[in-house]
């Protein structure tokens, strides 16, 4: 299944991103720690390299990811020229506060009221950009939500006398070439639910969980995973949770079971998992 989603406001966002990046000092690219490569927009990388801007890659939602895998990602990204990395959960103010401290060494010449450090927070939808901005400002200014495309326009605020932050709308790229990347992005709700089928996304997720974290499925839902396939996982969840279709003679409601699995994964109820490992 090839998933594509590029609503009209993203065309405008791409133009604005190019302008803002050129007038910024450090690019703060927020990624989902559970899939840092899939959640990295190639457009942002291209613009950053063209503008020759240093980058802090923020692996957000690290509290939901496999810590061993996250450490491997940090080590890989830190090898890239002009790139610093950090893994945080930006819902914690103390962890969010690490971001400007790590940005400052990337642009040491910008550190005064006359030359404030300009940090541009960017990334794909639903990775926590607005939450990070709110935590840094210590007040709720940027609208947040558990669905993509909540932020529609850029927002600029002074963090202090020598630092400025700019939040931007979530930006995808016009064509997702790799079908697996589309499925991964749909799993973390970076793509609108209107263009995906929950059951297909849930089976994709179940396939990875069976291969890497079968014990988490057993702990959460109470069934053995040996010899199960992805479709069997949805049936087993439906049986355990009593998901039956009304008026269908006890037929399992796989769609409801799919939503249960996806919601448990997105909220971290299932446990700490990483769906993508470094390419090393």
CATH code of the domain covering residue 107: 3.40.50.300
- Say what the pTM is: 0.90
Whole-number Å distance between alpha carbons of 253 and 267: 22
Same domain, 124 and 222: no
CA distance 120 to 110: 14
Q: How many DSSP H helices and E strands does the chain contain?
A: 11, 6
Residue 67 lies in a domain: yes
| C-alpha span between 251 and 243 (Å, rounded) | 9
Q: Are residues 115 and 219 in the same domain?
A: no
- Residues with pLDDT less than 70, the chain: 1-2, 4-10, 140-154, 248-249, 280
Helix (H, G, I), strand (E, B) or coil at 86: strand
- Roughly how many angstroms between the first and final C-alpha of the chain, as a whole number? 27
Same domain? For 60 and 109 the reply is: yes
Tokens at 4, concatenated: 């594509």
Q: Which helix (H) or strand (E) holds 19?
A: helix 8-22
Residue 1: predicted pLDDT: 53
pLDDT at 142: 53
Secondary structure of the chain: what % helix, strand, coil (to 5)?
Answer: 45, 15, 45
212 three-state secondary structure: helix
> Could you tell me if 19 and 122 lie in one domain?
yes
Our count of domains for the chain comes to 2
Domain that holds residue 261: 197-267
Between the CA atoms of 110, 45, 145 and 180, what dihedral angle is there, to the nearest 10 degrees? -160
> In terms of domains, do 33 and 126 share one?
yes
Beta-strand runs (E) in 102-200:
117-122, 155-160, 163-167
CA distance to 50, 191, 228, per residue, from 18 (Å)? 10, 22, 47
Kindly state whether residue 24 falls inside one of the protein's structural domains: yes
Which residues are 156's β-sheet partners?
Answer: 166
The answer as to whether 174 is a domain residue is no
pLDDT tens across 58-84, in order? Answer: 999 999 999 999 999 999 999 999 999
Is residue 176 in a domain? no
For residue 183, is it within any domain?
no
Cβ atoms of 259 and 205 within 8 Å: the answer is: no
Q: Can you give the pLDDT at residue 69? A: 97
> Does 118 share its domain with 19?
yes
Q: Is 214 found in the same domain as 131?
A: no
């Amino acid at each position: 299944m090839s998933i594509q989603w590029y609503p009209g406001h993203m065309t405008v966002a791409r133009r604005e991103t190019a302008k803002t990046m050129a007038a910024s000092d450090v690019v703060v690219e927020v990624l989902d720690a559970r899939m840092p490569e899939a959640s990295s927009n190639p457009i942002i990388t291209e613009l950053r390299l063209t503008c020759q801007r240093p980058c802090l890659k923020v692996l957000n939602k690290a509290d939901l990811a496999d810590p061993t895998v996250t450490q491997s990602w940090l080590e890989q990204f830190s090898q890239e020229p002009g790139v610093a990395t950090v893994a945080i959960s930006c819902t914690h103010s103390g962890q969010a506060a690490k971001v400007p401290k790590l940005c400052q060494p990337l642009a040491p010449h910008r550190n005064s009221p006359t030359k404030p450090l300009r940090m541009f927070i960017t990334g794909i939808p639903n990775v926590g950009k607005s939450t990070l901005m709110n935590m840094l400002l210590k007040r709720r200014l940027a609208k947040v939500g558990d669905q993509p495309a909540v932020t529609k326009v850029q927002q600029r605020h002074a963090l202090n006398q020598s630092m400025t932050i700019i939040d931007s709308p979530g930006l995808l790229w016009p064509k997702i070439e790799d079908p697996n990347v589309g499925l991964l992005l749909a799993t973390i709700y970076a793509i609108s639910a209107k263009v995906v089928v929950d059951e297909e996304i849930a089976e994709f997720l179940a396939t990875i969980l069976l291969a890497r974290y079968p014990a988490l499925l057993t702990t959460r839902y109470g069934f053995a995973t040996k010899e199960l396939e992805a479709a069997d996982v949805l049936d087993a969840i439906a049986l355990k949770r009593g998901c039956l279709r009304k008026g269908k003679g006890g037929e399992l409601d796989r769609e409801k079971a799919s939503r249960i699995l996806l919601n448990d994964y997105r909220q971290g109820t299932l446990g700490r998992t990483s769906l993508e490992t470094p390419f090393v």
